[in-house]
């Protein structure tokens, strides 16, 4: 982790106003190149989307990675595919590095972050263009962001600026469902952050907002047992309330005690109860059997917990544990927590980084950019590097329908996002 003195120096440098003199001739050439290659950029996006690459589709993720790797190889990057242990059942990550021949020794190293995997895939999720809209898995989350990252680099190379920069690119293969344990699944990303000065992440973008904070996310599992008995005796001293009633009590008290806390959410995503439960190896498919005249002896609930800070996470977990401990008669419950994505809190260096992006956006004639409320965005890979270097997220494609079969991207805005990213990279890298 960087020293306090180093962090203060970086924060001060990021806070320095840029671009007050207007666009330079290099800036104008960057814009012209990006506009001229817009259709080519869409073509690369289509090729990526047409390769199904759901997180557990190891072969598909690797194929998308090979396509992207070839593009970076052509730009002079040194690339490698980082495999993960087989037991993680994940494809791995692409890591690429380039130190420009004319890069000053004291120039900043930029870490650019993307991901290849999607939530949905299949024949019905291929690229379909309808005027200014394109639909398909990953069009906006985040193969669209990947091509923004790529074409910003291509524009910088075409105008000679990439030779003045130090850049590391990490595109993960399992952002949508990261392999466990996380310290292994994110080792390559964290290692790259330790060699970098600032991180830019290309999750879905917005005309007016970017992210300098992201909520953390962790999982929880509630297991409840009760006394199996005839339903006629429910609530009685000999039978008790059963596992399903106890699970319902616990969930309702979670809602009563914790709902409404700013930045905190907790969602029971899977619930099952009955006489018999069996869970498959994924942990997310459950077979359940029982009868209406049997008081259920078992119940299982799996959910997530999202938080702004680690302190908020710890406080919420303490409340949840206390609620679980107050079992109804004839029942017993336990809750376990699984660590997930860390929180990315707001920092002074993050605010300064956002100010740079805002300046660049307005310099280009685009809207001012403000911080996005962290509650409006899920967890992301940039959070893993946040304890090491300042980061900015939301630089990617603009669209909607993420994590659903209706995902889409607004194609014209790829130009705006690519221009803003390219100019920001120039300023942050310290290139003239």
User: Are residues 280 and 210 part of one domain?
Assistant: no
User: Are residues 220 and 201 part of one domain?
Assistant: no
Tell me the average pLDDT across 8-28.
62
180 or 124, higher pLDDT = 180
- State which residues form the domain around 159: 4-214+344-429
CB 118, CB 405: distance < 8 Å: no
Tell how strand 286-289 and strand 294-295 pair up.
unpaired
User: Are residues 331 and 200 part of one domain?
Assistant: no
Instruction: Note the helical H segments in 186-274.
Output: 187-194, 242-258
Q: Is the pLDDT of residue 20 over 70?
A: no
Q: Is the pLDDT of residue 425 over 90?
A: yes
Task: Name the pTM for this structure.
Answer: 0.86
Look up the CATH number of the domain holding residue 246: 3.30.70.360
User: Are residues 197 and 70 part of one domain?
Assistant: yes
68 CB-side CA count, 13 A: 36
- Of 11-15, 197-201, 212-216, 390-394, the range with the lowest mean pLDDT is 11-15
Per-position b or e across 81-101, b if 16+ CB within 10 A of its CB: ebebeeebbbbbbbbbbbebe
* Distance separating alpha carbons of residues 74 and 2, to the nearest angstrom: 33
Q: Is the pLDDT of residue 16 over 80?
A: no
User: Are residues 418 and 392 part of one domain?
Assistant: yes
Reading the block at residue 217, the tokens are: 């996310």
Confidence of residue 376 (pLDDT cuts 50, 70, 90): confident
383 CB-side CA count, 13 A: 25
Q: Give me the count of residues in the chain.
A: 432
Query: How many helical (H) and strand (E) elements, i.e. helices and strands, does the chain have?
Result: 12, 20
323 burial (CB, 10 Å; 0-12 / 13-18 / 19+) is buried
User: Are residues 404 and 286 part of one domain?
Assistant: no
Q: Is the pLDDT of residue 5 over 70?
A: no
User: Are residues 285 and 406 part of one domain?
Assistant: no
> What is the average pLDDT value for the chain, to the nearest integer?
93
At residue 203, what are phi and psi to the nearest 5 degrees?
A: -65, 170
User: Are residues 150 and 203 part of one domain?
Assistant: yes
CB 378, CB 217: distance < 8 Å: yes
Q: Which of 287, 310, 341 is the last residue of a domain?
A: 341
User: Are residues 77 and 55 part of one domain?
Assistant: yes
User: Are residues 359 and 272 part of one domain?
Assistant: no
For residue 269, give the 3-state DSSP assignment: strand
| Distance from chain centroid for Cα 382 | 7
Q: Which of 341, 375, 390 is the last residue of a domain?
A: 341
Q: Total structural domains in the chain? A: 2
Look up the CATH number of the domain holding residue 190: 3.40.630.10
User: Are residues 204 and 325 part of one domain?
Assistant: no
| Distance from chain centroid for Cα 181 | 17
Q: Which of 341, 376, 395 is the last residue of a domain?
A: 341
Tell me the average pLDDT across 48-68.
97
Q: Which pLDDT score, from 0 to 100, does residue 4 have?
A: 37
Confidence of residue 174 (pLDDT cuts 50, 70, 90): very high
User: Are residues 127 and 48 part of one domain?
Assistant: yes
For residue 229, give the 3-state DSSP assignment: strand
Instruction: Note the helical H segments in 263-347.
Output: 310-325
Q: Which pLDDT score, from 0 to 100, does residue 377 have?
A: 76
CB 295, CB 265: distance < 8 Å: no
């Amino acid at each position: 982790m960087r020293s306090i003195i180093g962090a203060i120096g970086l924060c001060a440098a990021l806070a320095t106003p840029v671009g007050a003199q207007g666009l330079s001739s290099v800036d104008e050439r960057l814009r012209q190149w990006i506009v001229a290659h817009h259709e080519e950029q869409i073509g690369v996006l289509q090729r990526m989307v047409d390769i199904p690459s759901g997180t557990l589709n190891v072969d598909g993720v690797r194929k998308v990675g090979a396509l992207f790797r070839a593009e970076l190889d052509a730009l002079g990057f040194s690339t490698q595919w980082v495999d993960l242990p087989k037991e993680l059942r994940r494809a791995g990550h692409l890591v690429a590095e380039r130190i420009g021949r004319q890069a000053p020794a004291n120039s900043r190293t930029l870490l650019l972050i993307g991901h290849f995997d999607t939530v949905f895939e299949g024949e019905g999720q291929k690229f379909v263009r309808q005027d200014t809209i394109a639909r398909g898995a990953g069009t906006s989350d985040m193969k669209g962001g990947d091509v923004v990252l790529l074409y910003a680099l291509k524009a910088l190379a075409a105008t000679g600026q990439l030779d003045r920069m130090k850049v590391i690119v990490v595109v993960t293969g399992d952002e949508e469902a990261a392999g466990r344990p996380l310290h292994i699944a994110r080792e390559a990303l964290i290692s790259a952050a330790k060699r970098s000065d600032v991180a830019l992440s290309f999750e879905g973008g917005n005309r007016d907002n970017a992210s300098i904070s992201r909520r953390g996310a962790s999982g929880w599992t509630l297991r409840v047992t009760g006394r199996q008995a005839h339903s006629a005796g429910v609530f009685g001293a000999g039978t008790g309330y059963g596992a399903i009633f106890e699970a319902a009590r616990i969930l309702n008290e979670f809602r009563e005690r914790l709902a409404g806390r700013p930045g905190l959410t907790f969602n029971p995503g899977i619930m099952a109860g009955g006489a018999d439960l069996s869970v498959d190896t994924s942990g997310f498919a459950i077979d359940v059997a029982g009868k209406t005249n049997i008081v259920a002896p078992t119940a299982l609930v799996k959910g997530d917990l999202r938080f702004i800070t680690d302190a908020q996470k710890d406080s919420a977990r303490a409340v949840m544990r206390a609620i679980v401990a107050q079992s109804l008669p004839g029942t017993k419950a336990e809750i376990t927590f699984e660590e997930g994505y860390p929180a990315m809190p707001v920092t002074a260096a993050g605010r300064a980084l956002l100010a740079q992006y805002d300046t660049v956006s307005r310099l280009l004639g685009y809207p001012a950019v403000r911080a996005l409320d962290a509650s409006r965005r899920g967890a992301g890979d940039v959070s893993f590097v946040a304890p090491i270097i300042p980061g900015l997220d939301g630089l990617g494609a603009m669209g909607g329908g993420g994590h659903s079969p209706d995902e889409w991207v607004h194609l014209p805005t790829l130009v705006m996002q690519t221009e803003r990213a390219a100019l920001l990279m120039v300023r942050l890298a310290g290139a003239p």
